[in-house]
Structure 1
Amino acid sequence: MADNILELSDVCADIDQYHILHGVDLALPRGELTVLLGRNGAGKSTTLRTIMGLTKVTRGELRFQGQSIRGVPTPAIARRGIAFVPEHMGIFSLLSVRENMVLAAIGGAMDEARLDWIFNLFPPLKRFWDKPAGTLSGGQKQMLAIARAVIEPRELLLVDEPTKGLAPAIINDLADAFEELKAQRVAILLVEQNFNFSRRLGQSVAVMSDGRIVHRGRMADLAEDEALQRELLGLGLGAHQ
């Protein structure tokens, strides 16, 4: 049996009067990066928000490290070791980079060794440490969003569309950072449309359609099977650059 850090079983979730998730079954292997693919509106972002307790579960079970997190408040889920980087990043634009990081640290105290490690991952953050976060470029803001998520050690990182709208050089820098997080055995669930980025980083893959998981497997196998890509996603993944 695989050593799974997170398991979703028959999870259903609604947003207002809309039924978004229709029985999601998903298992994330410990220490691996899993890519969550699917067409727009498939339920990928809602899945991340549901894991984080931001969208209410109406049926099913979520277990993290073997313990139920259904109905657990979002701050308590974070304290258990799960971090979330939403698509909009959630940066406090009027605060400095340093102030954004302080807010993310437990008790407002940042471990110096941990901070040095983050500066090695994202050198621009050190350079703009006392600058307002709103003055950063899009790529630098994404670096800050990820850095805030990992200023404390995490067991699981949920990341929604980190490369959207970014230049190729910045995307490569982000890929290097995710490789380092993988080396630290942080489990990552990544929603991403850039296939080259997903193929480089992904070990496991799950594909969503209409609020359900319709395929699970190894990323390398899906990357080699264009017919399966077209069946699941409607086009070859090579079109997602």
Structure 2
Amino acid sequence: MSCTDSATPALTLTGVHANIDQYHILEGVDLVVPKGELTVLLGRNGAGKSTTLRTIMGLTTVTSGQIRFGGQDITGWPTPRIAREGIAFVPEHMGVFGQLTVRENLMLAAVSGAMDEERLAWLLALFPPLKRFWDRPAGNLSGGQKQMLAIGRAVIEPRQLLLIDEPTKGLAPAIINDLADALDQLKSQRVTILLVEQNFSFSRRLGQSVAVMNDGRVVHTGTMADLAEDEALQHRLLGLGLGEHQ
């Protein structure tokens, strides 16, 4: 696809509705994800954040509304086609294959063919444990190492957009800091990232743009810097202050 116009958002959702079974989860989501930035999607539990990512990826069906990627309407596309177009998804459960080695997991994710050696070297420098456990089954990795592998699988080939769902959940602070450093490197390469996260210290460090969801809708958009400075707004939107959760 052609995404040469820097003014075109990486991703735009307009009035997106989606159901899971009989439940109406997304109730008209409007969201703009700027190209080349990390946008954090915040909200209370059950607000619809993870469903939004799954809907973008074609894993939950849009019942009405439109999803545009780089100006192209991708509403209703099957997930493999969306992935080939340049969107990668790191789900909350990580999605690694436990019986396969780290190497085999990365090989499967390199859908264009053999892994690019230069990019692989960059990836292993980004996540050193992957090199250390290269020939070990992924199921034997720690939670943090599995998360590194999950993100590594998503970026083993260049992607135009990364969707990452709660990468810090259940991880130790030192591993969270390593993940933040890695995402900072991806940001420096102008990779567009849409991140769902409950760790507000992590979100504040990484986020440039922010959108807050409630009851299946986006109820606030702006910069993370502005939200981080406005404790009253944090309490109104989230029921807590960012400074209260480190």
TM-score in same-fold range (> 0.5): yes
Counterpart amino acid of residue 96 in structure 1: T
Q: Cα offset for 1:2? A: 5.0
State the Cα RMSD in Å.
1.0
Instruction: Give the secondary-structure state (helix, strand or coil) at the position aligned to 2:100.
Output: coil
User: Of 99, 109, 114, which aligns to 1:94?
Assistant: 99
Aligned pairs, how many? 241
The residue identity in structure 2 corresponding to 1:120 is A
Structure 2 unmatched runs, 5+? 1-5
Kept in 1, the 8 Å contact 2:8–2:70? The answer is no
Selected match of 1:124 from 122, 129, 136: 129
Cα distance in 2, alignment partners of residues 30 and 91 from structure 1: 28
1:34-53, aligned counterparts within 5 Å?
Answer: 34-53=39-58
Aligned to 2:116: 111
Distance 1:203 1:2 in 2: 17
2:69 is aligned, of 55, 64, 68, to: 64
* Alignment pair present for 1:32 and 2:31: no
Q: State how far apart, in whole Å, the 2-side matches of 1:140 and 1:113 are.
A: 22
SS at match of 1:3: coil
User: How does the TM-score come out when normalised to structure 1?
Assistant: 0.98
SS at match of 2:41: strand
Q: What letter corresponds to residue 179 of structure 2 in structure 1?
A: L
Corresponding residue number in structure 1 for 2:203: 198
- TM-score norm. by structure 2 comes to 0.96
Aligned to 1:139: 144
Deviation at 1:123, TM superposition (A): 0.5
- How much identity, in percent, do the aligned residues show? 78
Matches within 5 A, 1:145-224: 145-224=150-229
Paired AA for residue 77 in structure 1: I
User: Deviation string for 1:147-186 (max 9, x for gaps)?
Assistant: 0000010010000000011111111110010011001111
SS at match of 1:4: coil
For structure 1, list consecutive stretches of 5 or more residues without a partner in the other structure: none
CA positional deviation for 1:238: 2.0
CA shift digits 1:60-102 (9 cap, x unpaired): 0000010011111101101111000000001110110001011
